[in-house]
Structure 1
Amino acid sequence: MDSFLHQSPYSKCESPEGWHCQYNKGGVTVWSQEQDNSKAVKKLKMRIVCKDVSAEVLYDVIHDTSYRKKWDSNMIETYDIGRLTVNADVGYYSWKCPSPLKNRDFVTLRSWLPLGNDYLIINYSVKHPKHPPRKDLVRAVSLQTGYFIKANGANSCVLYYLTQVDPKGSLPKWVVNKVSQFVAPKAMKKIYKAGLKYPEWKRKHDPDFKPWVYPEQNTLSSVNLEDLAIQRADELENIDESGVSEHISEDDDGLSKDS
C-alpha cells in the first residue's frame, strides 16, 4: 500500500503510457494494460466525468455502506470488520455473478486520503483469521484497486477507477473481455447515478454520520495488524469455470465489483 500511496495519483491515472483503450462511449473510457508475465491478471483503468456531482459527494458515496445497499444491485453483503487507523479499515464484500458462475467475495484492507479538493481510496486483499474463504463463494483477490476522485469545479468531478483483480475460478477469456467491454462501464455509470441521488438520500438518513470524515464517530473495534496477512492468489483454490457457455448479455452486469 505504501508504494501505491507514494506514487502520484495524477500520473498513475492520467498517464496514457502503456494503456490500450478498450471502450470509449457515453462518457466512459476503459483502458487495459498487459503485464510482463503472460499469466498475470490485466490491469483495468476507467474514467467518467460526473457532472452535477462534487468530488466530496462522490467520496461519501463510495464510503457509505448503508447507501450502497440502495444502488449496488450486485452486492450480496458488505460490512466493516474493524479499524486499523483513523483512515484505514478492513472490510468484507460479496457480489453476485450470473449463473452458472459462482459468486465472489473479498476481504480487503482499505485506506483513504483527502488530497486537498481531491480524494484517493485504495484497497488490497488480506487474510483475516475470523473471515476465511467460504465454501459457497469463490474468494477473489484484489491485487491493487483504487479510486481517484479529481475535483472539476465546485459541483463536478472526474472519477478514475484503477483495478487489478484476480477473480480466481479459471474464468474463460470471454468473461474477462466482457468485463472491460460492458460490465466496467456500467459499474462506473452506476456510481455516477448514485452520486446524483445521494445528497437527497443522505438528508433523510443520518445526515451528520460520516465516520470516514469524522474519525470520532467510528465505533469499530480495532484490528491487530499482526492478525492480518496479504492474501496471495496462488494460496486459494481454483474452481474450474472454463466450460461456461458464452450466454451473458450486455445487460447482465453481475460480474462487476465496484470496491
Structure 2
Amino acid sequence: MSTAATKAKTSCTRSWSISEDSLRRYVSYASESCIQELLSASESSLAGGSEGWKVLAFQDGVEVSKRCLDSLHVFRSRWVLRSVSPKQFIAVANAIDAAKQWDPDLVEAKYIKDLNDNLSIIGLRFGDASKPLFKKREFIVYERRETMEDGTLVVAVASLPKEIAAGLLPKKSNSIRGLLLQSGWVVEKLEDDSCTVTYVVQLDPAGWLPKCFVNRLNTKLVMIIENLKKLAQSCPMNSAR
C-alpha cells in the first residue's frame, strides 16, 4: 500500500482521545447552540411559516413544517397535548425512547457516560432489519435537558463529531455511523395539565441514500410525538431513568 493510501486510511479511521473534563466543556458549548435553535423553532408563528419555516401540513392542531438548510432540510412538528403535563412528556422525551419510535428494530441503546445530572452521552445501534434510513446505522449522541427561567423544558440531542465518538466507542465493522445533526423537544406548560410540544429533527444517515429520499423520511420522524404521547399517558408522574 502506498504512503498516500496509508495516510488516507488512517485519516478515515482516526479517533480523538479526550478527557472527561474537555468532553464536558465541548458538549456544554455545542448543546447550548442546539438549545437556542430549538427555542427559536418553537417561538416562530404556529401557522405562519416564519423564520424560513414552510408549513407542509396543519390539521387537527398539528403542524408539520420544514426549513431549507443546505441539502438536508430541518423538520418540525408541533402539537398541543391535552391532559399530558410537561413532566409526564419530558419523562419519555429522550434519545432512547425516541429511537424506539423511529424504528422498532433498534438493536442496542445505552448510556455511555453521564457528564452531569442533565448531560449524557448515548449510543444507538440499528440492525439489518431496520428501515433504509437506519439500516446498519449507529449514532453516538449527547443529550442535554434544561429547564428555562419561564419553566419551559428543553431536551437537546445531537451527534458528537465522528473523531470524538470513535474515541468513546469504536464503530462496529459492519455498520455505518450516521449523524443526528440536530434534534430535540421544547415543552411549554398550558393550563389543565396540558402542554405544547415542538419537536425538531435534522438527520444525515450517511452512506449512500438519495437526499430527496432522506428528506422524505425525515418528515416522518417528526410524527413520533403521537407515540410518545401514549407513552407519557401511561408513565407514572415520578418516573425517572
Question: Under a length normalisation based on structure 2, what TM-score does the superposition of the two structures give?
Answer: 0.70
CA deviation vs aligned residue, 1:31-70 (integer Å, no higher than 9, x gap): 11112x4xx4211111111111100111111249589869
| Structure 2 residue 110 is matched with structure 1 residue 79 | yes
Further displaced range: 148-157 or 60-69: 60-69
Q: Deviations over 1:141-176 (max 9, x none)?
A: 122222111111241111111122211122124523
Match of 2:68 in 1: 34
Considering fraction of residues, name the structure with more helix. Answer: 2
How many angstroms apart in 2 are the aligned matches of 1:100 and 1:121? 23
The equivalent of 2:87 in structure 1 is 56
Taking a change above 3 Å as real, the CA distance of residues 55 and 24 of structure 1, as seen in their structure-2 partners, is same
Give the secondary structure class of the aligned counterpart of 1:129: helix
Using the alignment, how far apart are the partners of 1:190 and 1:51 within structure 2? 14
Deviates more, 1:141-150 or 1:131-140: 131-140
Contact 2:77 2:223 in 1 (8 A): no
Post-superposition Cα deviations, 1:88-147, rounded to whole Å, max 9, x if no partner, equal: 110112346326972322101111102243211112212142412223332111222221
The answer (yes or no) to whether the contact 2:178–2:204 under 8 Å persists in 1 is: yes
Instruction: Assess, with a 3 A threshold, how the Cα gap between structure 1 residues 175 and 74 changes in structure 2: closer, same or farther.
Output: farther
Partner of residue 163, structure 1:
201
> How many residues end up aligned between the 2 structures?
199
Look up the match of 1:20.
54
Query: Cα gap change, 1:88/1:50 in structure 2, threshold over 3 Å: closer, same or farther?
Result: same
One-letter amino acid of the structure 2 residue matched with residue 156 of structure 1: S
Is 2:170 the counterpart of 1:132? yes
1:240 equivalent in structure 2: none
> What are structure 1's unaligned runs of at least 5 residues?
212-259
Change (3 A) 1:190 1:100: closer
Distance 1:33 1:84 in 2: 32
Find the residue that maps to 1:184 and give its secondary structure: helix
Cα RMSD (Å) of the superposition?
3.1
Shift of 1:10: 4.3
Look up the SS of the partner of 2:145 in the other structure: strand
Query: Would the alpha carbon gap of residues 108 and 180 (structure 1) be closer, same or farther in structure 2, given more than 3 Å must change?
Result: closer
TM-score of the two chains, using structure 1 as the length reference: 0.65
